[in-house]
Amino acid sequence: MTEEKLKVLFLCTGNSARSIMAEALLQKMGQNQFEAYSAGSIPKGYVNPFAIEVLKANNFNTDMFRSKSWDEFEGGDAPKLDFVFTVCDNAANELCPIWAGHPISAHWGIEDPDNPKLSDDEQRTLFQSTYRQLEHRIKIFTDLSFNNLDSSSLQKELDDIGKIKLD
């Protein structure tokens, strides 16, 4: 594609858990090749404490993560995106803005781990599972040979990644 870093936006409705964890993982796992962002259609305005806990337990500095609107990625000042991935079903079904750069998009839906009806321990387990699922998918994504894939093959690979489930 290009010698500069590929820009990837992860979307979720609230931008407080899944998309934040995906942003963190790609920043770490693809640091030489990718620039990661996250946003939400209706951002909660805070990062879920369980997401912060899981990231810290996996040696992430969480100071820079914040819940933000996808509006920050529209307009002339927005980064030219190469990829946009939705990680929740709600965001996948929403009418998204027109992104600068006409990025390739795919849906990587993962069940929402934020369930206040569950105990803290049960939520921690769900957040850890979500983290592992995202980590697995992002590892596959970062291992793709982008220069050897035409656009339809790349789209198929990205769609297939979104179907991968860990046991």
Domains and CATH numbers, the chain: 6-161 (3.40.50.2300)
> What's the mean pLDDT in 46-52?
96
pTM listed for this prediction? 0.92
Q: How confident is the model at residue 163 (pLDDT cuts 50, 70, 90)?
A: very high
Active site residue 88: yes
- Greater confidence, 165 or 19? 19
Catalytic pick among 6, 8, 12, 36: 12
For residue 96, indicate whether it is catalytic.
Answer: yes
Residue of 8, 36, 47, 88 marked catalytic: 88
Q: Which of 44, 60, 89, 96 is catalytic?
A: 96
Instruction: Express as a percent the part of the chain with pLDDT over 70.
Output: 93
**Is residue 2 very low, low, confident or very high in pLDDT (cuts 50, 70, 90)?**
very low
Q: What average pLDDT does this structure show over 119-126?
A: 94
**12: annotated active-site residue:** yes
Nearest-CA neighbor of 114 among 16, 45, 30? 16
Which structure tokens are listed for 63? 């100071």
